[in-house]
Homo-oligomer: A and B are copies of this chain.
Amino acid sequence: MLEHGGNLDLAVQRFGGRAQDWIDLSTGINRQPYPVGEMPHDCWSALPPRSEIESLHRAAQQAYATAAPVLAMAGAQAAIQLLPRLSARGRAKILAPTYNEYAAVLAAAGWGVTEVSALDELAGAELAVVVNPNNPDGRCHAPAELLALLPRVGLLVVDESFADAVSGLSLAPEADRPGLLVLRSFGKFYGLAGLRLGFALGHEVVVAALAAMAGPWPISGAAIAIGRRALLDREWVRATSARLECETLRLDAAVRSLGWALVGGTRLFRLYETGDAHAAQDKLARGQIWSRIFTQRPGWLRLGLPGNETEWARLAAVLSR
């Protein structure tokens, strides 16, 4: 298992307490989730019918402002698992540092994997991966820059797991270009990671290949019911975007007194250079607040946003100790 945020098991093992007592800021998952509401009875019992899956696809097209072919999957991760099989094995280049599953999944499937540090260096790859905005440092690339890269690579995968609420950044409207695949997470922005829902948008050839590999019923009835409702609820999206925008600034301000420097971030997490991330993580953990650190970067600590005033108060108290 690779290191990931969201693994409270590890926090409990190392620092004790019960999982439910911890505030998990180790992920970029919105802690004010979309209200799930009542489930329709048959979302549990019936196999998801094709017509329901298609209506979810239309909702996603509307939400992501695209007419490109779309495929609902069990999280963006489900698409990542299938990437190695989208084309003949070759050379993959990944704009790094980034989400660690890309390199791992591709290498495990026999791809040659190179991590590069500038967009230009992706040229020549059979498969190129850009996470935009990037996890964990928030680095962004304008759509035009990415489109310029398109003719220079075999397949360009743009992971927009943290692109919700960032206007003008998404390539979704252009996703049907040959050689392009855009991945969207649902669970992070909507705060419903346990639902396992995400979307692949891209050229019809790529989306059809993913659909064939994912099989006839890749997502649950609950994912269809909740996902469709949430994607079409533009008022909730607007309110949530505004709230997150304000609260990222609030988090940056809250850690300023400790001398942590903002490296970057998105609306859902912030990355700080702390000087000593282990010490910083331990300090937070003593107040049962879990954070994410990175083996390769001894100073980096990533923090998600507290979900309510009680959590903000606990964070303030821990930081002031």
Contact = CB atoms under 8 A, between A and B. Distances in A.
Interface of A: 1-2, 4, 6-9, 19-20, 24, 27, 29, 31, 33, 36, 39, 42-51, 74-75, 77-78, 80-81, 85, 101, 105, 108, 187, 191-196, 212-223, 226
Contact of A47 (B20, B47, B108, B194): B194
Question: What is the copy number of this chain in the assembly?
Answer: 2
Given A1-B216, A74-B74, A196-B219, A45 B33 contact: yes
Contacts of A85: 85
A39 to B, nearest CB: 8
Contact of A220 (B31, B108, B196): B196
Nearest to A219: B196
A216 B48 CA distance: 23
Contacts of A191: 45
B49 A8 contact: yes
Given A19-B49, A24-B46, A50-B9, A217 B196 contact: yes
B51 A81 contact: no
A9 B49 contact: yes
Contacts of A43: 194
Given A195-B221, A222-B194, A81 B47 contact: no
Nearest to A26: B47
B193 A2 contact: no
Given A9-B51, A45-B192, A78-B218, 15 more contacts: A1-B50, A6-B46, A7-B50, A19-B49, A36-B39, A45-B191, A45-B193, A45-B194, A46-B194, A74-B74, A74-B217, A78-B215, A108-B212, A194-B220, A195-B220
A1 to B, nearest CB: 7
A103 to B, nearest CB: 14
Contacts of A193: 45-47, 217
Contacts of A218: 74, 78, 196
B6 A29 contact: no
